[in-house]
A = this chain, B = another copy of it.
Amino acid sequence: MGRAMQIDIGLIEAANERLAPVVRRTPLLGSPFLDEIAGRRLLVKPECLQHTGSFKFRGGWSAVSALPQEVRARGVIAYSSGNHAQGVAMAAKMHGVPAVIVMPADAPKLKLENTAALGAEVVLYDRVGGESREEVGTSIATARGLTLIRPYDEPQVIAGQGTCGLEIAEQAKADGVETADVLVCAGGGGLTSGIALALEARAPGLRARPVEPEDFDDVKRSLESGGIEHNDRQSGSICDAIITPAPGEITFPIMQRLCGPGIAVPEELCLRAMAAAFTRLKIVVEPGGAVALAAALYMPETVEGDAVIAVASGGNVDPEMFATAIQKYGDGA
């Protein structure tokens, strides 16, 4: 797709119109018990309740629906650790067009199965051994005439994720919150930059903050150094959904211009946050989808203001991992 396209609130509003008939408008949740842990009012945007279990459906639908009909009809291709895969697969299925998804062979079984069950052709690559998913994806796209839908460095994907920010702006205002940090789970920065752009235009008192797992805090370090920094590793985290090599070329300048400092969260706090979300919000959050909530609950010193908003970005977690989290951290306090 056209990466040179200008990304602004107009592109997000247009994506929002295309999404309106199909997107699930997730509510803002909260609990007095969580407010007490966080030490301030905490609102949670549960994108785990979105179609396919993560915000990625927004970007997938936005990108697929933006294609000219004859281009879309040839099909789309995506590479993803799982959530983008499902989002694109479902968007393609709902549009009645073929989808090829390039996934790491070590992705959670559930994500691999779901992607295939959504009608996509799944092609595996060796993430641990160092194969480049970009190269694998680009070569198949060229050979078959498919349109590559990048997971984050793609204007229409960023615009789609930004629709989550439009909802946050409106819902936070309705809940009486006009000044707050908005903590966003960050991988390549598509969701974070999209939300940041939406908030800039619609809720200037809300500031996006990228949140990452410790040891995979490329966005945080990039914001600190002023240049794109890479992670040493690309696997070995329970937060698999948001592990990417580095912030995107398109997303990074947006985050640099609009976001507050990044936050890096120890993995163990993600498990605790999953248990708290289970006990107090009745939602299922995956480890990578829980980093923002973990920071809001257990690292309150990293956040500013009387209120905080945390995006729970996905819920595609295996039963064993979830059972471990809720049994270990009991009633989630």
Contacts and interface: CB of A to CB of B under 8 A. Distances in A.
Interface of A: 24-27, 29, 32-33, 46, 48-49, 53, 90, 110, 113-114, 117-118, 275, 278-279, 281-285, 315, 319-320, 322-323, 326-327, 330-331
Contacts of A283: 49, 282-284
Contacts of A27: 24-27, 49
Contacts of A33: 114, 117
A281 B278 CA distance: 13
A48 B31 CA distance: 13
A81 to B, nearest CB: 18
Given A29-B24, A29-B49, A33-B117, A322 B326 contact: yes
Nearest to A31: B51
A322 B279 CA distance: 11
Contact of A278 (B275, B279, B322, B331): B322
> Chain A: interface secondary structure?
helix
Nearest to A93: B32
A53 B322 contact: no
Given A27-B25, A117-B33, A118-B32, A279 B110 contact: yes
| Most chain B beta carbons < 10 A, residue from A46, A90, A283 | A283
Contact of A323 (B110, B114, B279, B326): B326
A255 B319 CA distance: 38
Contacts of A315: 282
8 contacts: A24-B29, A25-B27, A29-B49, A49-B281, A282-B285, A283-B283, A319-B330, A323-B326
Nearest to A284: B282
Nearest to A275: B319
A319 B326 CA distance: 6
A319 B53 CA distance: 21
Contacts of A319: 275, 278-279, 326-327, 330-331
B331 A323 contact: no
Given A27-B49, A282-B285, A322-B323, 9 more contacts: A24-B29, A32-B118, A33-B114, A49-B281, A49-B282, A279-B319, A283-B283, A319-B330, A323-B326
Contacts of A118: 32
Contacts of A281: 49
